Amino acid sequence: MNPCLGEDIDRKTLDKISRLLGGTYAPETSNENAQLRELAFWRWVAYEGYNGQPPRSFPEHQRRFMSSCYNKTGWAKNRFSNKTIFELGCGPLGMIEYIPALKRYAFDPLNQHYSKLFKNARSSDIDYLGCESQLDEMPKADLGICFNVLDHTPDARTCFDLLLSKIVEGGAFLIQVNTIRKELKRTVEHESMHPSPLTFDRIHSWVQAVSKDVKYELSNQPSADNEFFFMCWGTKSLR
C-alpha cells in the first residue's frame, strides 16, 4: 500500500532503514544515521499520519503551524510576493510552501525521497534542490528560512553560515531551533537524530553577530523531548 500523499521510497533505502532500526546496519557516519532516522520518521508520517491524525490532514497541519510561526514576525504575508525566497533544510513540507514569492528554492539532502512520499502535497512552482552543488547556481534570496534544521546537521555552524551566505545584504531571515539545556536529559534515540544540539546562548550569539535588529521567541517550558522552542527573525547586516 502506498502513502496517500505520494508513493513509497526506493527498496534499497527502505532496506537500510529496516536494518538500521533492527540493529543490523551500522551507518558510516553520524550524519547518515541521523538522515536515515529522519527519513524513517517522515515515512511513518506519510503512512500513519502525524500526532494521531490521518496522513491526509498533515498538509493542513503544516499550513496552520508554519503560517502561525511566520505571523509572529509581523511581516505581511505578501511581503516577498515579487522576490526570491530560499529554505535550507525544507523537510517534506517546509514554511516555504505557504509563503508566496516570485521565485522559491527549497534545499534538503532528502528531497529525492520527500518528492516521492509527499509528491501530491508539494508545490509545483518550488525548485526542490537535493545537491549542494545546485546551491551555487541559485540566486541570492531576499528571505532565507531555516526551520528546525541546524541541530539535525553534522555541523550546525557551517549550516548557519551557508544560510546567511545565500541571503542578500539587507535581506531577511527566519531561523527556528529546538534548543537544549545541558542539565536536562534526552533519549538516546532523540540524540541520534540531533547530532549538533544547540543551547539558546550559542545560537543567539550567532544571530546577533549578523543582525542589528534580531527579534526572538523562546519557550519557557520544555517539550516532551526536553527541548525549548526558539525562533528568531531579522535583517542580515554587517555589525
Report which of 136, 157, 149, 198 is spatially closest to residue 175, judged by C-alpha positions.
149
For residue 10, tell me if it sits in a domain.
Answer: no
Report which of 73, 64, 93, 96 is spatially closest to residue 83, judged by C-alpha positions.
96
Expressed as residue numbers, the domain containing 227 is: 58-235
pLDDT, tens digit (0-9, with 9 covering 90-100), for 123-166:
999 999 999 999 999 999 999 999 999 999 999 999 999 999 99
Per-position DSSP letters for 42-111, written without gaps between them:
HHHHHHH-STTS-GGGHHHHHHHHHHHHHHTTT--TTTTTTSEEEEES--SS-GGGGS--SEEEEE-TTH
For residue 24, tell me if it sits in a domain.
Answer: no
For residue 16, tell me if it sits in a domain.
Answer: no
pLDDT, tens digit (0-9, with 9 covering 90-100), for 76-110:
999 999 999 999 999 999 999 999 999 999 999 99
Q: Residues of the chain with pLDDT > 70: what percent? A: 98
Q: Would you state the pLDDT for residue 85? A: 98
Instruction: Note whether 43 and 17 are within 8 A (CB).
Output: yes
Residue 223 has pLDDT above 70, yes or no: yes
Could you tell me the CATH number of the domain that includes residue 148?
3.40.50.150
Helix ranges (DSSP H) in the chain: 11-21, 30-48, 58-71, 111-117, 156-165, 188-193, 200-208
Q: Would you state the pLDDT for residue 72? A: 98
For residue 75, tell me if it sits in a domain.
Answer: yes
Residue 26 has pLDDT above 90, yes or no: yes
Rounded distance, CA 8 to CA 143, Å? 32
For residue 9, tell me if it sits in a domain.
Answer: no
99: cell is: 509563503
Residue 17 has pLDDT above 90, yes or no: yes
Amino acid at site 161: D
Residue 189 pLDDT grade (very low, low, confident, very high; cuts 50, 70, 90)? confident
For residue 52, tell me if it sits in a domain.
Answer: no
Residue 1 has pLDDT above 60, yes or no: no
Rounded distance, CA 175 to CA 168, Å? 16
For residue 217, tell me if it sits in a domain.
Answer: yes
Residue 30 has pLDDT above 60, yes or no: yes
For residue 4, tell me if it sits in a domain.
Answer: no
In the block, residue with C-alpha cell 530560499: 86
Rounded distance, CA 107 to CA 73, Å? 23
What total number of domains does the chain contain?
A: 1
Rounded distance, CA 121 to CA 89, Å? 17
Residue 190 pLDDT grade (very low, low, confident, very high; cuts 50, 70, 90)? confident
pTM of the model: 0.95
